Amino acid sequence: MSDAMGVDVAPAGTLHRLASLWGCDVTSAEMAQQLDQHDKLASFRRPVAVMNGLTVNLHLLLTAFYHPTPLRHKILIEDRAFPSDKYAVRSQVRRHGYDPDNSVLLLKRRPGEDIFRMEDVLRTIRENASSIAVIMIGGVHYMTGQKFDMEAITKVGHEAGCVVGFDLAHAVGNVKLELHNWNVDFACWCTYKYLNSGPGCIAGAFVNNRHILSHLPLLHGWWGNKPETRFHMQDTIDHALGVNSLKLCNPPQMLVAMNRASLDIFDQVSMDQLVQKQRLLTGYLELLISLQLPEAEQITPADPAQRGCQLSFRFSNAHNIHAEMKRRGVECDIRHGEAGSPNVMRLAPVPLYNSFTDVFRLVTILRQAFHRTNSSASECTDSGSEISEDLGL
């Protein structure tokens, strides 16, 4: 509330005075709306819903926010985005009668580069301002680990008249997010990566509080009704507030419990603390590999501000290295890079449960696996059984 209004010792006095100032009854809905409108802490409300899976939520959000017109019908998405995002975006465009090859605008990198340059991102938005309806980009790129400047993208996107949303699958629990302060319109994410809830676990969605979703063409379900009137069994929906109006059905309780168990751990530490350790932990991994395995080509930004936990490396024989590491008890993953071959290895030490010793042992095994598969180091023997345990990285 504005300091200029003053606050009486008795709250009732302040409330009656404000009601008189605004010309409404203190018991009316208008009074509550006026109070919320003048609430300086409104941005601290959490406009988040836990529901469905990531791609289901993305479809629900695009149904609400993607309203193409003959002039403004494009969705901007990064090149080599996660396939499910591309499938969802292309199908939404097709559902509205547009050609995905024309109406899905790919954000490109420069030839020979792995990372998107922010100046190119912002220039693409500005140059296509009149035709982009929605910007939908991964907050952290799943392949390279690059973190996009979401605040800058949102600002320029809004200046261009676009709705701006993000897939935060590789960002939530990994990097610090201030979606409301950045004025992001919508976002969605899964919880089985950095939120540690397990594969297929329940997902999340965000919608900025400034949007009145009941005015948009939503797909309705029983759980999108206000809890207070849900059991009144009405013929028409009584919209729940904010993003909760996107809910369709009762969430699976076991999946909610798994998510809650992880979030309870996050409540015990601040995101600033996690990021502080993350930068040292991932920086340690980066340093060790650069010194002990210079043959590994890092494709993740070197600037800690442009990444989270993940570092991605390109190897010419990544598949064989991966197999050798697995034989030695280390589970990591490889992805198909630009050439279509599985040559990118993703490593992500997580500050909640990985130690610096874990990182040291990982690099030791990675170096041994590399030299064994390349038959170039006599030091690599099978006597490393003492480090053949699963490191959980």
Annotated binding site: 54-55, 82-85, 167, 170, 192, 222, 250
Determine the Cα–Cα distance for residues 139 and 335; give it in Å rounded to an integer: 19
Residue 163, φ and ψ in degrees, nearest 5 = -80, 140
Determine the Cα–Cα distance for residues 151 and 183; give it in Å rounded to an integer: 8
User: Are 260 and 267 within 8 A, CB to CB?
Assistant: no
Q: Name residues whose C-beta falls within 8 Å of residue 322's C-beta, 6 or more positions apart in sequence.
A: 332, 333, 334, 342, 345
| Tokens encoding 377 | 């180091």
User: Are 175 and 193 within 8 A, CB to CB?
Assistant: no
Annotated binding site for pyridoxal 5'-phosphate: 54-55, 82-85, 167, 170, 192, 222, 250
The CA-based angle 13-19-21, given to 5 degrees, is: 105
Q: At what angle do helices 29-37 and 11-22 cross, to 10 degrees?
A: 100
Determine the Cα–Cα distance for residues 4 and 220; give it in Å rounded to an integer: 42
Q: In what order do the strands lie in the sheet with 48-50?
A: 48-50, 204-207, 186-189, 163-167, 132-138, 74-78, 104-107
User: Are 162 and 125 within 8 A, CB to CB?
Assistant: yes
| Tokens encoding 241 | 């507030």
**Residue closest to 183 by CA, chosen among 157, 214, 213, 216:** 157
User: Are 83 and 52 within 8 A, CB to CB?
Assistant: no
Give how far the C-alpha of residue 2 lies from the chain's centroid of Cα atoms, to the nearest Å. Answer: 34
**Residue closest to 211 by CA, chosen among 174, 277, 158, 255:** 158
**Residue closest to 208 by CA, chosen among 63, 43, 1:** 43
Residue 360: count other Cβ atoms within 10 Å of its Cβ: 13
